[in-house]
Structure formats: C-alpha cells, structure tokens
Amino acid sequence: MVEPILEEWKPVVFASFFFSIFSASFRIMNKRLLYVCCMLVTAVAVFSRCFHGEAKETPDLRGEQFAGAETCISCHKDIYKTFITTGHYATSRPATDSTVQGSFAAPGNVFYYNDSVKVVMEKRDSGLFQVAYHKDRQQQIHRFDIAFGSGRKAQTYLYWQDNKYFQLPVSYLVPAHSWANSPGFPATQVRFDRPIPSTCFGCHSSMVGISDTKMVGLSISEEFEKNKVVYGIDCERCHGPAAKHVDFHVEHPLEKKAMFITTISSLNNQQKLDMCALCHSGIRPAQKSPFTFKPGNRLSDYIFMDIGPAPKATTLDVHGTQYQLFTSSKCFLKSNGTMNCSTCHNPHVNERNDMQAFSQKCMSCHNTDNHTFCTMKALAPALLKKNCIDCHMPALPSGNITLLVNGHDSPVPDYIRTHLITTYQEETQKVVEMLKQQQKHL
C-alpha cells in the first residue's frame, strides 16, 4: 500500500539540498545536562491508560502498515518504559507548560536585543507566547506550538501560521539555563519570518504531513497539514512499519519468534550503522523521504553523501556527524567490521552521563589482561578505569555554533562529544589537573 503522505514527500527531496546550504548558519546549542522530569509525568499518563495490543481507534497518520508506539507496550513493556526517557522519544513535542524548558516568570522570561527591544515569554490564558516589544509597546506575538529538542542541550520552538511552520526568535539554552537568540537569527532585530522546512521533521519526528511544495525563486516553499505530526522518533521510525507484526503476535500469543519485523541481528554491520547514520551523519541533501527508510535499506540510496560540503572527521556538527567521526576511528577501522553504534549505545535506554558504564564498553576490548589497555602511565589504572571518555572522546566546542545569551558579552560556544576516538593531549592535561584537585580535597 502506498502512503499518501510518503508520496507527497518527493518534491521535498530537492528542497533539502537548498536547505543544507542555508542550514550552515542554522545551528543549535550544545552541552549536556540532566533530563526533564516532566517525562515521568508523561510516562505515568501513558501507563495509566489500558492497552490490549488491539487495533487502535484512530489510524496511524503514516498509514495502515504502522501500528504506533503505544501498541508495542503490551508485549515490549520494559523496552517502552525506558525508551520514553530517551532523547529520541522527546525530540519533538507539542509545546506545553511541561515540555517547554525555559521560565515564564519575570525577570527570567525576557530576552533583550537592546535597551528598547525585547522578547518576553508570556503565559496567557490561551497558551504560551513570545511577544516582541519596542519601548514596552507590543509589536508582534506568536504562540509556542511545537518544541524541538528533548531539552538535553537546547530547545527551539515553532509556531503555525498560513499552513507553515515558523521558528520563534528565542530558543532555550539548557547549560546556561537561559533564553537565547535562536541560532542564525540576527542579534539586533526580532524576526518571526523564518519558515521551518520538512527536513527538520525528517530527523526530529516520525512523520509530518506535507500538503504542498512549490518553487519560489530559488527556494522551496512548503505547506503542511495542520496537526499532522507523529512526534518524536518512535519504535517504527527505527524498526519499520510493524502493524503486521502486531496483528500476527496478537493472534498467535504463543509464538516466541519475531514475525513480520526485520531482525536486527540478521543485518550486516554496515546496515546496522546506516540505521543510525540516516540522522547522525550531519545535514546532507536527501534523495528520498527519510520517513520511508527501513532497517536493511542503504544510506547511500537516501542521502547524497558526496554533494555539498563534506562533514570532515575533524569537524564537529551539532546535528551529529557521529557516523563519520566514529568510522574514522582506529577502534572501528581495526576491529574488522564488528563495531557499530550499538557496541556502546542501547537505543532503548537513556544512559547519558554514565561514564563508568561507557568505560566498561571500552574495556570489553581494551583491558589490562590482554595488554591493549591504556598506555598512559601518569595515572594508576584504577583511576583511568573510571572514565576513559573525557580523555579519548572529549566534549569539544563545535566552533561553528554559538548562541547569544542574556548577560554574556560574547556568544556561548557549543560543546559536542567527539566520536573520533583517539588521544587528546590537551584534554588529558585538563582531566589530570582536575583529578589532582579532587585528590587534594580528599
């Protein structure tokens, strides 16, 4: 069966190339911090409902082949329970009190452009708004409709008007606990006129309904169907359509072998990498709708890997060039095609900031017994074992993304965890210094 919405994507493929150029100035913030507890609330809300794995009343926006993540709960409860704490699950959501991270209370709800121009984040009876003022006279007002970014590092917001999505001028920067000028927006002038292309939804949602696409001069103008978004990156975004799988297992509850779903262990290593690289190889021009990608498909059939500026191994990109960085690392190159993202990441679990757990993964290959352990002699092995990551995969400023934050004279740099696993002398010095300080205080 053909999904009407998937079909409508086609013209967008061309749009994405233009977008990739325009997006160079369009980057978001970084650095990790603790997670949003509101997701627990969501979890409770979701679990308080009853699920039987039966056909849902409202069909999935993506078509009959899709069952929707909530259908999976009845048989994959443990996975679902931890999955809703991940960045993937929450990377796009309707903007509400609980999903928008920043403050709506004075004085923390203002972003100043200069002495007379400001944007105030206001909670009114009809919702959440960004309101632009000139000398305290209201100039423009737009609603927070969608929040992009789970809130690990940054959130940016979309409003809906004339069948389009536009980005709001003020974003939220988690590490600074502050509202900030949206990336690529002018610092002196309030703008509400930047349309958000479907490309953003391609990596940050599981489906968006597009109603029209046309060329306006050299750029693409897209129109969307209102409220037609499958938020977050859900189970079927990674595993492919699963309605048949659900129907079969509902009818055959004793069957223990997975039917009508791609078994990940049957894929080769490149196919496993491609599942993640679809969204983790930076913003590249697309050949096909990313929403149609299924496990086993080839990345090179979906993305033009050679057109436009190539993300280099040394370039850090907020939109994640983890694929290029990791596959340039010696660990990957010298382990005979056995390593992929799942060597270190469980995509169903939020393992953020657990450096010891990640270090255990390193030591599954690099251990003291087989003499492949760290050759650094300045610290005792017991100390090294606590955190391989900050020395060999340091969080580095990406260089090309900065945001202007209230109270900071210069832009705040964007930090990202490099996936080029190698030796970083400067970062090592910092870690050694930090450990020495800690020892002093013991």
Residues in 77-136 that interact with ligand HEC by CB under 6 A:
79-80, 83, 86-88, 91
Give the residue with the Cβ less far from ligand HEC, 80 or 129.
80
Window of 138-146, 219-227, 341-349, 399-407 that interacts with ligand HEC by CB under 6 A:
341-349
Nearest distance in Å: CB 194, ligand HEC = 9
Nearest distance in Å: CB 360, ligand HEC = 9
Helix (H) or strand (E) holding 238: helix 235-239
Window of 111-119, 217-225, 398-406, 413-421 that interacts with ligand HEC by CB under 6 A:
413-421
Residues 40-59 interacting with ligand HEC (rule: CB under 6 A): 53
Count interface residues toward ligand HEC (CB under 6 A).
Answer: 111
Residues 349-408 interacting with ligand HEC (rule: CB under 6 A): 350, 352-353, 358-359, 361-366, 372, 374-377, 379, 384-385, 387-389, 391-393
Give the residue with the Cβ less far from ligand HEC, 93 or 118.
93
**357: number of Cβ within 10 Å:** 12
Give the residue with the Cβ less far from ligand HEC, 117 or 347.
347
What is the bridge-based pairing of β-strands 412-417 and 395-403?
antiparallel
Nearest distance in Å: CB 82, ligand HEC = 9
Burial of 241 (0-12, 13-18, 19+ CB in 10 A): buried
Nearest distance in Å: CB 324, ligand HEC = 9
Residues 21, 184: Cα–Cα separation, whole Å: 13
Give the residue with the Cβ less far from ligand HEC, 117 or 297.
297
Among residues 95, 108, 96, the alpha carbon closest in space to that of 178 is found at: 108
Strand extents, DSSP E, 108-204: 110-112, 117-124, 127-134, 137-143, 146-148, 154-161, 164-167, 170-173, 178-181, 194-195
Using the structure block, give the residue that is written with the tokens 């087989």. Answer: 370
Looking at the DSSP bridge assignments, the partners of residue 121 are 130
Residues 290-329 interacting with ligand HEC (rule: CB under 6 A): 318-320, 322-323, 326
Strand extents, DSSP E, 162-290: 164-167, 170-173, 178-181, 194-195, 205-216, 219-231
Nearest distance in Å: CB 394, ligand HEC = 9
Nearest distance in Å: CB 118, ligand HEC = 22
Residues 423, 9: Cα–Cα separation, whole Å: 43
Cβ-contact 69, 235 below 8 angstroms: yes
What is the bridge-based pairing of β-strands 164-167 and 137-143?
unpaired
Residue 306, CA distances (Å) to 303, 314, 346, 378 in order: 9, 17, 30, 43
**427: number of Cβ within 10 Å:** 17
Give the residue with the Cβ less far from ligand HEC, 251 or 409.
251
Residues 153-212 interacting with ligand HEC (rule: CB under 6 A): 153-156, 199-200, 202-204
Choose which of 93, 118, 142, 245 interacts with ligand HEC (CB under 6 A).
245
Q: Is 230 in the site for ligand HEC (CB under 6 A)?
A: no
Residues 6-35, mask of contacts with ligand HEC (x by CB under 6 A):
-----------------x--x-x---x---
Q: Estimate to the nearest angstrom the gap between the alpha carbon of 376 and the chain centroid.
A: 34
Residues 27, 182: Cα–Cα separation, whole Å: 9
Nearest distance in Å: CB 109, ligand HEC = 19
Nearest distance in Å: CB 265, ligand HEC = 6
Choose which of 139, 219, 423, 438 interacts with ligand HEC (CB under 6 A).
423
Residues 6+ apart with CB under 8 A from 48: none
Choose which of 176, 283, 403, 404 interacts with ligand HEC (CB under 6 A).
283
Give the residue with the Cβ less far from ligand HEC, 190 or 203.
203
Cβ-contact 352, 32 below 8 angstroms: yes
Residues 102, 124: Cα–Cα separation, whole Å: 15
Nearest distance in Å: CB 135, ligand HEC = 31
Choose which of 195, 347, 397, 411 interacts with ligand HEC (CB under 6 A).
347
Residues 198, 216: Cα–Cα separation, whole Å: 16
Quote the tokens at residue 401.
């993304």
Window of 3-11, 129-137, 218-226, 272-280 that interacts with ligand HEC by CB under 6 A:
272-280
Nearest distance in Å: CB 407, ligand HEC = 21
Please give the DSSP secondary-structure letter assigned to residue 166. Answer: E
